[in-house]
Amino acid sequence: MLRWSINRFCAGEEKRVGTRTVFVGHRPVSETDAYVEQKFCDNRIVSSKYTVWNFLPKNLFEQFRRIANFYFLIIFLVQVIVDTPTSPITSGLPLFFVIIVTAIKQGYEDWLRHRADKEVNKSSVFIVENAKQVKKHSEKIKVGDIVEVKADETFPCDLIFLASSNDDGICYVTTASLDGESNFKTHYAVRDTTGLRTDDDIDSLTATIECEQPQPDLYKFVGRINIYRSNQEPVARSLGPENLLLKGSTLKNTKKIYGVAVYTGMETKMALNYQGKSQKRSAVEKSINAFLIVYLCILVSKATVCTTLKYIWQSNPFNDEPWYNQKTIKERDMFKILRMFTDFLSFMVLFNFIIPVSMYVTVEMQKFLGSFFIAWDKEMYDEEIKEGALVNTSDLNEELGQVEYVFTDKTGTLTENSMKFIECCIDGHKYKDGISEVDGFSHTDGPLKYYGKAEKCREELFLRALCLCHTVQIQEGDNVDGLRINQERRTYIASSPDEIALVKGAKKYGFTFLGHEADYMKVQNQKNEIEKYQLLHVLNFDPVRRRMSVIVKTSTGKFLLFCKGADSSMFPRVQQDEIQQTKVHVERNAMDGYRTLCVAFKELTQEDYKKINDQLSEAKMALQDREEKMARIFDDIETDMHLIGATAVEDRLQEHAAETIEALQTAGMKVWVLTGDKMETAKSTCYASRLFQTNTELLELTTKTMGDSDRKEDRLHELLLEYHKKLLPDFPKNSGKLKRSWTVSQEYGLIIDGSTLSLILNPSQDSSSSNYKSIFLQICLKCTAVLCCRMAPLQKAQIVRMVKNTKGNPITLSIGDGANDVSMILEAHVGIGIKGKEGRQAARNSDYAVPKFMHLRKLLLAHGHLYYVRIAHLVQYFFYKNLCFILPQFLYQFFCGFSQQPLYDAAYLTMYNICFTSLPILAYSLLEQHINIETLTSDPRLYMKISDNAMLQWKPFLYWTFLGAFEGLVFFFGVYFLFQNSSLEDNGKVFGNWTFGTIVFTVLVFTVTLKLALDTRFWTWMNHFVIWGSLAFYVFFSFFWGGIIWPFLKQQRMYFVFAHMVTSVSTWLAIVLLIFISLFPEILLVVFKNAKRKNHQKKLSNRKESDSLSSRPSVRPLLLRTFSDESNV
């Protein structure tokens, strides 16, 4: 729909490849040029799926693509066309009920989308035309219009920022509705347009904007603006993401801004990001389809048997054409093959109710309504962010109970992503704790804690680097997220908490970053003097370079480059003789679990800077491959630097993260940590979170173990074979299970980094071994835990895909909090986003979102377990009750000459699945707790009992099928033997075939409903209401249906049948006796299970008592320090 809308509104758009040119204010560059209006999308947002005209055909087409709906449509058409034994109403009414309910649901959801679209499209905006403000609807904005946006208003389309009410051409926005980040982001106007702060000024601007065609990446934009002035050469300025104001963002702390529309409507980045994700299917859906095929085979078999036996029986002329039922000429002349085919279709129609069409709508309602229980769970509500769990898709509720592999991010997921500056080292000298005296590090607030001392000038250079090399903004004395800040307090705003921690660390040591003033950065030194540095260029951080730099000019005219980044990306770019003294501290800090960054600088000459400035300016003006060109220049600039020192910040382990991982492992799940952090830091976190135990033997596949040899592939092959041989004896060869084994004497953990993983997944062409991947996968599956460090986002997804596609197709779950986790969240069967501090991209792209990692425990062990048990019972119960329903109809054909005579009345056929038996199973599937939630959460081993889709395997399916067949036989033959004496009353009146069928149907309804009552362990008033209410409704309906002569019926065959039936004592006795016989095996099973459950609870209480005596000490809130001394672990 979105693509169709874009094509419809953007005639000729596809012809313009690469870039587009926008005339600001629709003014031509020169007066002699004629302005030709360009064809771009209008600003209408269309998120709805249907229109009034296409709703009916489109919705019906989508619904009949479902096999069950299409099957019942065919059956209905057969009943209409062919002379079948049952009325078309019997299959048509349930089908139309399902179709109408689904259509109403989808129509209502689409109406809500229409309403939301209209609210956006009809909102008022102000456009500057002829130096005047014109009020228009948002949908009327065209590309090139100059739009005025005031404080706290939302941008109506994607705008290039031209000017603001601030003199410096800066504005602040929040993008919470786009990526969930509530921090203020700073955007900049081109310096040539910052002075155009009135309608008259902005209307005088003559300019064109050349930019890339629309694309969905929120953080990328390439363009340039050409400004034309009379009698002057045009001025060209580069445009980047900092100049683009996105639709959906909100203007904050700025009175007003002017911007020119460049992308509108369905071409805005917000609209392009609303493309649907690939549909995920649960294992339950696949099981339903398999069972459906079995029952279709049963149906065809029944119809074939009955058709064959009918013609065998009719081979006797007397049976074929008795004297009282002579055939017509038309019947005699009909081809026998055609008659056989027609009879086959008639039997198909008669038995078609064995396929439960209403099961699909019941399953959908169960999933939709059941998802509210996750959102309503108060234990998953976080007081800090004032939010609870969020369900983005309800189709995977039961999949939460089948997870075998958990892939988790580290930073922000296992840890808090709340950084605290711990220490630093300068020229190999370690510094810790705050400084209060003027002479820097020699005096501390507390006890003296320095380890040697660097030169004074190097100390100050290091602190100036921390104060200047960042993208932190300061918000002073204004509203920040609704809170009023005092003028004296400064609020640091940054996209990464690391940067704020480093700026605060520098402040602790006497150097305070005071913010920006025009193009200058202000720093207050230890002597309380204000230093100003002109900010010339920012070389932004990116995950490939893993570093960022700034180029500044001092007050004395020196040009300095400051750079900070990961040690692996910094050490090759600094003087080699400076590395060792800092490397020792970096490695020790990493072993302690700290996040480390190295800091370097380089002094530039006037000529160097001129060359760099020219290169950067040229690259910034490029419209094609701008990022690649910038990356090459950054790479050239950040070389031959001098290492000053390194920093260490701490990211605390999240509350109850260790207990959660331990519970998941006890539940049989394997937990893998996929992180971009360095190995030592990640390893320490894994020990602290109990992913690795002290007795876990670690196998490493990293650049450290691979060495620096040229033939890394050969060394990798050796290690893989060595680890494979080591692991293989500990595991039986026939072990096909992927679950964690609790009988293994030695536990193994694997550590692999990104570069080694690239060798495994993408071996070189001349490599002698091409089976790296299969050996590596076998090793991974044998390990109890795996740590993948230095991972790129794409590699995370590759790991998940590799495990997901292994033999047995284990159910995978990915959990993360940042944009770099989105790829693995989308790849896994179940994706869970943490509502963290790195924005909400992960939460927006996930199937479920939770505030903290610890909430995963209840989500899987309690909610997942219960949802799976409920829906598995629902599916099996539907097939069972329909087999009970149709088997007596099949048996009846043997006693009516295979004449296709229905056993049940048409009203009973129609209402059996819709009214008489639907609500009890729906209530059960929403409310049942066969084990209470506290027990499920506290005893993770219960999760393993339902693993591997245990309740929807062929064994339980056959049990339910045989149970349905047994009860169907009891219903039919029990009533048949009752009718051996055809006179069931003292007056000698004989009961007929409709009474026979009604008695069978009564026993059927009561038995299947009471069977569900026997299965119910958690009774609520709603269960009582729907179970006993459904039985009462059946009795009431039967009296009502048979108590009135209905004028629209041709035959009044049910008139007074039910009322007359219940007057017979024999009938009452037979009904009660048959219900008891049918349920007797179930009653025995319930008694046995209760005895077993009491025995289990007794053992559990004894185990808890013994565990309390030898309980483990609680996990420390900080990362464990003990492993810093165990470098050989």
Q: What would the pLDDT profile of 875-932 be if each residue is shown by its tens digit?
A: 999 999 999 999 999 998 888 877 888 888 888 888 888 888 989 999 999 998 888 8
| pLDDT of 314 | 76
Contacts of 371 (CB under 8 A, 6+ apart): 391, 394, 397
| pLDDT of 1068 | 86
Q: What would the pLDDT profile of 933-945 be if each residue is shown by its tens digit?
A: 888 888 888 888 8
Of the two residues 877 and 1097, the one the predictor is more confident about is 877
pLDDT band at 987 (very low <50, low <70, confident <90, very high): low
Report helix angle 865-892 to 954-978, nearest 10.
Answer: 40
DSSP H stretches of helix in 336-488? 336-351, 358-376, 456-468
Q: Which residues are catalytic?
A: 409
Are the beta carbons of 1022 and 922 closer than 8 angstroms? Answer: no
Are the beta carbons of 199 and 131 closer than 8 angstroms? Answer: yes
| pLDDT of 870 | 92
Q: What would the pLDDT profile of 755-786 be if each residue is shown by its tens digit?
A: 788 888 776 555 544 577 788 888 888 888 89
| pLDDT of 1047 | 65
Q: Among 368-382, 706-720, 971-985, which is the least confidently predicted range?
A: 706-720
Q: pLDDT above 70 covers what percent of the chain? A: 83
Calpha distance 291→271 (Å, rounded): 40
Are the beta carbons of 568 and 678 closer than 8 angstroms? Answer: yes
DSSP 912: I
For 826-866, what is the HEC assignment? HHCCEEEEECCCCCCHHHHHCCEEECCCCHHHHHHHHHHHH
Are the beta carbons of 463 and 509 closer than 8 angstroms? Answer: yes
| pLDDT of 1026 | 93
pLDDT band at 841 (very low <50, low <70, confident <90, very high): low
- Which one-letter amino acid corresponds to residue 443? H
pLDDT band at 319 (very low <50, low <70, confident <90, very high): low
Of the two residues 672 and 447, the one the predictor is more confident about is 672
Task: Give, for 111, the enclosing helix (H) or strand (E).
Answer: helix 88-121
Q: What would the pLDDT profile of 161-179 be if each residue is shown by its tens digit?
A: 999 888 778 888 877 666 5
Classify 672 as helix, strand or coil: strand
pLDDT at 744 over 50: no
| Residue 999 φ then ψ, to 5° | -65, -45
pLDDT band at 368 (very low <50, low <70, confident <90, very high): confident
599 - beta bridge partners? 564, 645
Look up the pTM and report it: 0.72
Work out the average pLDDT over 500-505.
Answer: 88
Contacts of 874 (CB under 8 A, 6+ apart): 359, 362, 363, 366, 921, 924, 925
| pLDDT of 745 | 56
| pLDDT of 485 | 35
CA distances from 876 to 70, 368, 608, 692, 1095 (A): 22, 20, 76, 40, 28
| pLDDT of 984 | 56
- Which one-letter amino acid corresponds to residue 702? T
pLDDT at 741 over 70: no
Are the beta carbons of 643 and 600 closer than 8 angstroms? Answer: yes
| β-strand pairing of 594-604 with 405-408 | unpaired
CA distances from 505 to 63, 270, 422 (A): 61, 37, 8
Q: Among 224-238, 657-671, 831-845, 1107-1121, which is the least confidently predicted range?
A: 1107-1121
Q: In what order do the strands lie in the sheet with 124-129?
A: 132-137, 124-129, 146-150, 256-263, 158-164, 244-245
The mean of the pLDDT values for the chain is: 80
Residue whose pair of structure tokens reads 């209410």 in the numeric block: 1029
| pLDDT of 437 | 32
Q: What would the pLDDT profile of 451-502 be if each residue is shown by its tens digit?
A: 566 788 888 899 999 999 988 877 655 443 333 333 346 678 776 777 888 8
Residue of 723, 661, 722, 724 lying closest to 688 (CA atoms):
661
Residue whose pair of structure tokens reads 């800040």 in the numeric block: 485
Calpha distance 133→216 (Å, rounded): 31
Are the beta carbons of 136 and 142 closer than 8 angstroms? Answer: no
Contacts of 525 (CB under 8 A, 6+ apart): 460, 510, 511, 531
pLDDT at 1113 over 50: no
Could you give the angle at the alpha carbon of 632 between the alpha carbons of 628 and 634, nearest 5°?
115
| Residue 32: other Cβ atoms inside 10 A | 6
| pLDDT of 645 | 92
Q: What would the pLDDT profile of 258-288 be if each residue is shown by its tens digit?
A: 999 999 988 888 777 654 455 567 777 778 8
Calpha distance 59→67 (Å, rounded): 15
| pLDDT of 1109 | 45
Using left for φ > 0, alpha for ψ between -120 and 50, and beta otherwise, residue 143 falls in beta
| pLDDT of 1118 | 36
Work out the average pLDDT over 429-455.
Answer: 51
Are the beta carbons of 268 and 313 closer than 8 angstroms? Answer: no
Q: pLDDT above 90 covers what percent of the chain? A: 17
Task: Report residue 902 CA to chain centroid gap.
Answer: 49
- Taking 3-state DSSP, the helix, strand and coil percentages for the chain, each rounded to the nearest 5, stand at 50, 20, 35
| pLDDT of 482 | 35
Calpha distance 483→10 (Å, rounded): 44
Task: Report residue 686 CA to chain centroid gap.
Answer: 25
pLDDT at 76 over 80: yes
Q: What would the pLDDT profile of 88-125 be if each residue is shown by its tens digit?
A: 777 777 788 778 888 887 888 788 878 878 888 899 99
| pLDDT of 1048 | 64
Q: What would the pLDDT profile of 1011-1064 be if each residue is shown by its tens digit?
A: 999 999 889 999 999 999 999 999 998 888 777 766 666 666 767 778 778 777
Token output for 1038: 């039967």
pLDDT at 1127 over 80: no
| Rg of the Cα atoms in the chain | 37
Residue whose pair of structure tokens reads 């704020």 in the numeric block: 500
Largest CA distance in the chain: 124
Token output for 417: 């992503």
CA distances from 17 to 11, 219, 269 (A): 14, 21, 18
Contacts of 390 (CB under 8 A, 6+ apart): 375, 835, 843, 848, 849, 850
Residue of 255, 260, 115, 108 lying closest to 172 (CA atoms):
255
